[in-house]
A and B are shown apart, each in its own frame.
Chain A
Amino acid sequence: MTVIESMEAGVRTSPYVSTPARVLDVEKLTDLETLFVLEMGHGRALDHRPGQFVQAWMPGIGESPISICSSPTRGRAFELCVRRVGEVTSHFHRFRPGDELGVRGPYGNGFNMRSLEGHSVVVVAGGLGLAPARSVIQYIIDRRDHFDQFHVLYGTKTPADVLFRHDLSLWRHSALMNVMVTVDRPDEQWRGRSGVVTKLFADLPPLDPDRTSAVVIGPPVMFKFVVIELMARSLPADRIFCSLERRMKCGVGKCGHCQINSEYVCTDGPVFTYERMRSLPEAI
């Protein structure tokens, strides 16, 4: 079949048209980040995988790729944690319950949660990386029997940057998981741990390298140091799953903005094994 013929049989509707979504709830997390609880206007679930993202559109302002920070196991609503950094995300912060925006997606491969089943899971998140990581964390909590040990290591720059404090407090007091939080620069009130996230590895119990997977999401600088720690514990590179950030304009593998070497982060990623990332020199 030639390309033209496959076009004849192909999709006729524009992949750039979004579907209305309604804001159900808004919760301020930090000075910069706000959590938005949304529901698709058609009333059905978004039907996403942990680690996928959506394109959120405000007519007249623009569109931004935003990770979904809730698990599909939590019902029809889904959540986006938005950091105010640009024009689109600033407008996002004006949303109140009942407001509408456009949503396209979910896009990207997301985490293959089935492939983690039976394993111990170590989630390492830095900064805003906790948002996509939270979709994985919630998923594992909701399917806890399917996983072995469950560790969450989270680091931010300062105490003021700590996201999802309410969740962290619940998680910390839960017997389901081991949660460790650290900040690079503590203030006087901070009673938790300080230093970069890799310092938390010292307190990680021994892991069976044949039955452990890691989920790593954070700023580019974080990956290589976290991977060193994981590999020092003999975790194979193909069991370390990293989620990468790029500014996708289309989300459907065409516009080129998210390209790393031969890969498109929007369709081939955003989740890549470290094994794959090693051969993508511009990944981080």
Chain B
Amino acid sequence: MTGRILSHAELIELIDLLGASRRLIGPVRRGDHYFYEPVAGAARLALDAPQCVYSPKSFLFPPEETLLTFEKESGRFVAQPVLHDAPIALIAVRPCDIHGIRLLDHVFAAPPGDAHYEARRRQTFILGMDCAEPCRAEAFCADMSANTAHLGFDLMVARLAEKLEARATYAIEAGSETGENVLAEFGRGRAPGAVDEAARAERAARKRQAFPKRLRCDVDELPMALQRGFASKTWAQTAQRCYSCGSCNLVCPTCYCFNIRDDISLDGNCGSRVREWDGCQLRDFALVAGGHNFRSDPAQRLRHRVMRKGRWIQDRTGLPGCVGCGRCDGACTAKISIREMFNALAEEAGHDGD
């Protein structure tokens, strides 16, 4: 077994070491919910937070960001790209969100690379926090093979003793050279012994039992089931309830669609081009000049999102478009569930095949 074993106090110290040269961002409790927020020190973090309302994607791909500024100089506009590369450390990122970030990496790195995303991403350290059990009833991360991450992080922590946090021990492993260097520099903790090894094996066994299957089909069969269900009545039936509010897009760790707009000063002499999140469920998303809307019907928009998450992103990138985190189901004001849609379409496809 590789890696180190840390006590809770040592983990806090390690995070503060990361924070010495990077802005720390991790789960913070706000009322009944948790959010990824910048913090001054590790003590402020809720390391055992189950799931944050939003994924930490917004620190790599902010809801609103200036892509370039422009200024009038002797009658001509001169534009200057804006790149943010201040180092950050994302702390206690859950496996589902690590999978989400891997997809964003893929999309924004595809040529021509998005320099704005890349500049942030290059300076981002990710400390993952493995899950021992599902965080919410809507989650089907295990079905999407996203309840564990093998890559896409610098360090991964798994809490071994699930008792009082202060007395907990953690197994920590590096997933990158940067992560290895940080562990070496930290130098604390101990090499895992037989007891730790047993604890880890026991935890892994418990984890396997803890995540129930919530999809009624194998994830590999999902793309074909969705394709066969393209003309299904399920889309229109379900979309009757959809308000086209885009809440599902807002909370999704793999949604990356955006709009770009111009802002300009009152005197018209300078301004900026600003990227803002956009959502395919919003009515005008596929509107073109002249007024034609290629997805004017909420059923078309719902189908677009569900097909995209369950098939099309995978077709394009080879990575799953949905990590099964369950956030969209929880956020939907009309109780539309992507998991139930996947299940309904898989069931229909099964009947078709009989």
Partners in one complex: yes
- A residues sitting closer than 8 Å to B (CB atoms) are 2-4, 6-8, 10-18, 20, 58-64, 83, 85-86, 89, 100, 102, 219-220, 245-247, 249-250, 252-257, 259-262, 281-282
Say whether B105 faces chain A, with CB atoms less than 8 Å apart: yes
Complex contact A59–B79 (CB within 8 A): yes
**What is the count of residue pairs linking A and B with beta-carbon distances less than 8 angstroms?**
139
Known A7-B113, A257-B278; contact A83-B290, beta-carbon cutoff 8 A: yes
Complex contact B109–A255 (CB within 8 A): no
What are 28 pairs between A and B in contact, CB < 8 Å? Answer: A3-B102, A4-B122, A7-B109, A10-B111, A11-B112, A11-B115, A13-B81, A14-B81, A14-B116, A15-B112, A16-B275, A17-B68, A17-B79, A17-B81, A60-B263, A60-B271, A86-B289, A102-B77, A102-B79, A249-B259, A249-B260, A249-B278, A256-B256, A256-B257, A256-B258, A259-B304, A261-B312, A282-B295
Known A15-B112, A256-B256, A257-B257; contact A59-B295, beta-carbon cutoff 8 A: no
- Beta-carbon nearest neighbor of B311 in chain A: A262
Complex contact A8–B122 (CB within 8 A): yes
- Beta-carbon nearest neighbor of A15 in chain B: B112
Q: Which residues of chain A have C-beta atoms less than 8 A from B294's C-beta?
A: 220, 246, 260, 282
**In B108-155, which residues have CB < 8 Å from any A CB?**
108-116, 118, 121-122, 151
**In B192-215, which residues have CB < 8 Å from any A CB?**
none
Complex contact A3–B113 (CB within 8 A): no
Chain B nearest Cβ from A120, distance in angstroms: 32
Per DSSP, chain B at the interface is mixed
Q: Which residues of chain A have C-beta atoms less than 8 A from B308's C-beta?
A: 259
Complex contact A59–B113 (CB within 8 A): no
Complex contact B288–A246 (CB within 8 A): yes
- B residues sitting closer than 8 Å to A (CB atoms) are 67-68, 70, 76-77, 79, 81, 83, 102, 105-116, 118, 121-122, 151, 176, 230, 256-264, 268, 271, 273, 275, 278, 280, 285-290, 292, 294-295, 300, 304, 307-308, 311-312, 315-316
How far apart sit A29 and B312, CA to CA, in the bound complex (Å)? 41
How far apart sit A188 and B79, CA to CA, in the bound complex (Å)? 51
- Beta-carbon nearest neighbor of B82 in chain A: A14
Q: Which residues of chain A have C-beta atoms less than 8 A from B289's C-beta?
A: 64, 83, 85-86, 89, 247
Q: Which residues of chain B have C-beta atoms less than 8 A from A6's C-beta?
A: 109
Complex contact A14–B256 (CB within 8 A): no
The residue that A281 contacts in the complex, of B230, B268, B286, with Cβ under 8 A, is: B230
Complex contact B81–A11 (CB within 8 A): no
- Beta-carbon nearest neighbor of B110 in chain A: A253
Known A59-B264, A254-B107; contact A247-B68, beta-carbon cutoff 8 A: no
- Beta-carbon nearest neighbor of A41 in chain B: B76
- Beta-carbon nearest neighbor of B319 in chain A: A3
| For the complex of A and B, 5 pairs with smallest distance between CB atoms | A256-B257, A60-B264, A10-B113, A14-B81, A262-B312
Complex contact A256–B280 (CB within 8 A): yes
Complex contact A2–B259 (CB within 8 A): no
Complex contact B122–A15 (CB within 8 A): no
The residue that B79 contacts in the complex, of A4, A18, A252, A261, with Cβ under 8 A, is: A18
How far apart sit A144 and B258, CA to CA, in the bound complex (Å)? 43
